[in-house]
Amino acid sequence: MAISDAARHVGQRVRIAGWLYNLRESGKILFPLVRDGTGIMQCVAVKSALPEEVFETVRDLTQESSIIVTGVVRAEPRAPGGYELELDGIEVIQRVPESDPYPITPKEHGIEFLMDRRHLWLRSRRQHAILRIRHEVVRAVRDYFDSHGFTLVDTPIFTPSACEGTTTLFEVNYFDHDKVYLTQSGQLYNEATAMAFGKVYCFGPTFRAERSKTRRHLTEFWMVEPEMAYATLDDVKQVAEELVCYVVARVLENRRAELAVLERDVSKLENVKPPFPQISYDEAVRRLQAKGSSIQWGTDFGGTDETLLSEDFDRPFMVDRFPAAVKAFYMQPDPERPEVVLGVDVLAPEGYGEIIGGGQRIDDLELLLRRIEEHKLPREAFEWYIDLRKYGTVPHGGFGMGIERCVAWICGLDHVRETIAFPRMLYRTRP
């Protein structure tokens, strides 16, 4: 039986294969807590009701020993979770020796100690809850796109050229004749597949060699990127808003227990409904300056700027029409104000910062060529991309949503490192 199915097995004798999470003892009654990956269940072993050998075996168990227990399930209000197993048999697969006990105890530990033992930390209740929510987020993202006419067309990890500046690329030796880079975005390829399929998305790991050491940065992170042919900035905004609302609603629907483990204030998540407030970059700068920020028109937001802005809103909000100078070469200029581009960021509330960035792409051949030149990019590497403007070019756009930042926000975590099983950061690549 899976522990998560306990309610459907009340009164039945079942078998649970798992690990000892903790053992509480009270005289002649033992309360081993068993976890099996789906949940944690309290078992009860009463000395007078069991053969001596069974009772002593349970009493001698050590934390995280692998065991298979049998017994009858019953509803029990005194048990955490509401169900309890009256233990009548146990098989020990491996007993963890007390000479080298399981290092992660139920008490406090520092982050360095835990990160060094990430492979074991994943067994803990909080980490388990976070990664289950991540799974729900990923499923919801896929379900949203799959049910809205998007085709999944994944893009390559090895790429010959940069999408942004070359300083943030990880370089890889590609046999002995070439250098390639780990992708930092699938967007350029998405633009090609969107012209073939109409609406597409890719979903996979991306890599940024930024020397950033903050609560919002990983060097390897997962991003979902939709791209749509015949789409404008407004279409992009609408899909972004629908996606975020759908994902949050799914977590609220299916992962309440995990949110409770994390002590997340779900009322904040229940606010996540359309319409999201929308402000322009100009307006954002005005608001920030009024709050005392030193930001000047023409520069990008810092982390504290994003936090300041989010104080004004109780749900995710959008900022659009950024200065062209601070954005990527492919961004479509606003026809009414060429100094700004038709780009949009979605920022999460509660200071979690940018979770989505995107916008409308340049569809005009001549303008794209000019931008490539202005950004001093090697034209030969972009010939295929330029082709897309020669053969049936159309207005199009899309965005990227960072999964880890999204999960950190939904879970209410203070650092993205806990939102992925094995985080890769500036100074940490192990375990």
For RNA, the binding residues in 203-262 under the rule CB under 7 A are: 206, 208, 210-217, 223, 225
Q: Does residue number 398 form part of the binding site for RNA (CB under 7 A)?
A: no
Which one of 12-20, 165-173, 246-254, 267-275 is the stretch in contact with RNA (CB under 7 A)?
165-173
Nearest distance, CB of residue 221 and RNA, angstroms: 9
Least distance to RNA, CB of residue 365, Å: 20
Nearest approach in angstroms of CB 205 to RNA is 11
Bridge pairing between strands 83-94 and 40-46: parallel
> Which window, 45-53, 150-158, 284-292, 374-382, contacts RNA (CB under 7 A)?
45-53
CB of 149 to RNA, least distance (A): 21
Q: Is 67 in the site for RNA (CB under 7 A)?
A: no
β strands within 178-316, DSSP E = 178-182, 199-207, 220-229, 278-280
Q: Please tell me the total number of residues recorded for the chain in this structure.
A: 431
Among 147, 167, 173, 267, binds RNA (CB under 7 A): 167
The owner of tokens 């200071």 is: 351
**Smallest distance, RNA to C-beta of residue 56, A:** 11
Residues between 123 and 162 that touch RNA (CB under 7 A): none
Rule CB under 7 A: is residue 46 a binding residue for RNA?
A: yes
C-alpha 171/C-alpha 168 separation (Å) is 10
Judged by CB under 7 A, which of 11, 107, 173, 366 binds RNA? Answer: 107
171 interacts with RNA by CB under 7 A: no
Residue 138 token pair:
């990923």
**Distance of closest approach, residue 151 Cβ to RNA, in angstroms:** 19
Element of type H or E holding 401 = strand 396-402
User: How many Cβ atoms from other residues are within 10 Å of residue 363's Cβ?
Assistant: 18
Alpha-carbon distance values, 373 to 176, 364, 380 (Å)? 30, 14, 11
Half-sphere exposure of 139 (CA within 13 A, CB side): 12
Stretch that binds RNA, among 107-115, 267-275, 284-292, 308-316 (CB under 7 A): 107-115
The size of the interface with RNA (CB under 7 A), counted in residues, is 71
Instruction: Kindly identify the residues of this chain, within the stretch 6-25, that bind RNA according to CB under 7 A.
Output: 22, 24-25
Per-residue burial over 250-279, b if 16 or more Cβ lie within 10 Å, else e, is bbbeebeebbebbebeeebbeebeeebeeb
* CB nearer RNA, residue 201 or residue 246: 201
Half-sphere exposure of 335 (CA within 13 A, CB side): 7
* Residue reference for tokens 């068993």: 34
Within 321-350, which residues bind RNA (CB under 7 A)? 327-328, 331, 343
- 376 near RNA (CB under 7 A): no
- Give dist(CA 179, CA 161) in Å, integer: 9
Calculate helix-pair angle for 403-411, 233-254, nearest 10 degrees: 50
Choose between 28 and 179: whose C-beta lies nearer to RNA: 28
Q: Of 292 and 392, which CB lies nearer to RNA in the complex structure?
A: 292
Rule CB under 7 A: say whether 166 interacts with RNA: no
Of residues 46 and 253, the one with the C-beta less far from RNA: 46
Q: Are strands 29-35 and 13-26 parallel, antiparallel or unpaired?
A: antiparallel
Taking the least distance from each CB to RNA, the nearer of 108 and 176 is: 108
SS3 328: coil
Distance CA 126, CA 309 (A): 30
